[in-house]
Amino acid sequence: MDQIVAQNQAERRRLVQILEGLSAEQWDSPSLCDGWRVREVVAHITMPFRTSPIRFFAGVVRARFNFNRFADWAARADTRSMDDSALLEQLRRNVEHPWRPPGGGAVGALSHDVIHGLDITEALGLPGPPPERVGMVLRESQEKNLAYFGVDLRGQQLVATDADAAVGQGAPVEMRAVDILLVITGRRPLANAVEGTSPA
């Protein structure tokens, strides 16, 4: 557990360093999250740090218990009320924040930041997190967490070439850990990730 928390804090520090170097145009660029720019993704990453349980519950109720709808509303509202420097400061000041997603624990917090960090860095063509960190997300996430994204692996097992991790059952296919995470979270089509690879 301590290792997971340490990796989560390291990922937040990494994202702070990346965001500090972005131009205004990059903050305004589309991310891998459909309909969100980089700034909306940062607003979403930092939302737990400033959202009380009461505000969260009220927002979910208003969104008719559709979390994705609530998250979209919140991200857009926060980017209207805070500029990019304020959003960055929210992340910088909360590197060690103990937030845990409901039912997700420390692994859920790490997954949240790694996945949404990739929404930014992949879209901008910037380096992603260390393979070992991505591998930890893949190893520690439970099947129900991965099922949330509804991706069908079509009887294939995705095996990381740069980390100790594998996802799925069936014919093994090798690819980078980051590509596996992008596939199973619906960010990248499986066919695109598999292209150029060969079965293990």
Asked whether residue 200 is assigned to any structural domain, the reply reads no
- pLDDT in the model for residue 200: 38
- pLDDT in the model for residue 143: 67
- pLDDT in the model for residue 146: 64
Asked whether residue 98 is assigned to any structural domain, the reply reads yes
CB 190 within 8 A of CB 153: yes
Distance of CA 105 to the CA centre of its chain: 15
Residue 162 and residue 107 in one domain: no
Asked whether residue 103 is assigned to any structural domain, the reply reads yes
pLDDT string in tens for the chain (200-residue length): 799 999 999 999 999 999 999 999 999 999 999 999 999 999 999 999 998 887 888 877 887 888 889 899 999 999 999 999 999 999 999 999 999 998 889 999 999 999 999 999 999 999 999 999 999 999 987 666 666 677 888 889 999 999 999 998 999 999 999 999 999 999 998 877 765 454 43
Residue 186: give the domain boundaries. 146-194
Asked whether residue 58 is assigned to any structural domain, the reply reads yes
Q: What is the CA radius of gyration of the chain?
A: 17
- pLDDT in the model for residue 123: 98
Asked whether residue 49 is assigned to any structural domain, the reply reads yes
Kindly tell me the burial class for residue 30, based on how many C-beta atoms sit within 10 Å of its own C-beta (0-12, 13-18, 19 or more).
middle
Residue 73 and residue 47 in one domain: yes
Domains of the chain: total: 2
Residue 89: give its domain's CATH number: 1.20.120
Residue 116 and residue 152 in one domain: no
- pLDDT in the model for residue 195: 58
Residue 98 and residue 179 in one domain: no
Strand-by-strand arrangement of the 166-167 sheet: 166-167, 156-160, 171-175
Asked whether residue 199 is assigned to any structural domain, the reply reads no
Asked whether residue 141 is assigned to any structural domain, the reply reads no
| Distance between CA atoms of residues 106 and 117, nearest Å | 16
| Distance between CA atoms of residues 186 and 155, nearest Å | 17
Residue 82 and residue 177 in one domain: no
Asked whether residue 137 is assigned to any structural domain, the reply reads no
